[in-house]
Amino acid sequence: MGRDPRYATEAAALGAALAARGWTLVYGGGKVGLMGVLAQACLDAGGTVTGVIPGFLSSREVLHPGLQISHQVEDLFERKALMIELADAFVALPGGIGTLDELLEVMAWRQLGCIDKPVALLNTAGYFESALRSLDHAIAEQFVDASERNRLLVADRLSDLLSTLDTLLPAEAEA
């Protein structure tokens, strides 16, 4: 959950907002942590939630029992590939190594032209500031083109993130 209670509060608010917009949540399928909070809030608000979980994690994370759709896959590579295929946009919430891995993977796929979907950070309590500084450093050192930073949607407030996504996504999207 992280140490700051705002992380869980924003995750729950995002889940409710996805449901209110008729957008399907596609996520890793677990019932724990911020993603569990996000999924439960979306379900509680009448939303649709799709989970994608590798078999070896279903026992550790315990697959969320309320999902309308769940896909069990072999491994994390297949998990990410299927989530990327199913989603119309990607929103990273504060999280750990898995979050950073998934964020960088979708950014890499987009940079390579394999996908053309919005990628956003919900920068609750400034959580992603150090990651953004690292990205800016990579740009300054000419390892990353500045266009990649410009295409990354960063919002400190959920309302700003939702306003931006409202203009980019169809009425019934999967995020």
pTM, 2 dp: 0.93
CA 120 from centroid of its chain's CA atoms = 8
Per-residue pLDDT of the chain (175 residues; tens, 9 = 90+): 899 999 999 999 999 999 999 999 999 999 989 999 999 999 999 999 999 999 888 766 588 889 999 999 999 999 999 999 999 999 999 999 999 999 999 999 999 999 999 999 999 999 999 999 999 999 999 999 999 999 999 999 999 999 999 998 876 666 7
> Tokens 């032209």, residue?
113
Q: Assess contact for 76 and 54: CB atoms under 8 A.
A: yes
> Does CATH place domain 5-168 in 3.40.50.450?
yes
Token pair for 6: 């705002």
- φ, ψ (nearest 5 deg) of residue 70: -140, 140
Helical spans, DSSP H, in the chain: 5-21, 33-44, 55-57, 76-86, 97-111, 129-140, 146-151, 158-168
Domain extent listing, the chain: 5-168
CA dihedral sign, ordered 136, 141, 144, 150: positive
Token pair for 165: 């996504």
Spatial separation of the C-alpha atoms in residues 158 and 19, rounded to whole Å: 14
Q: Assess contact for 52 and 26: CB atoms under 8 A.
A: yes
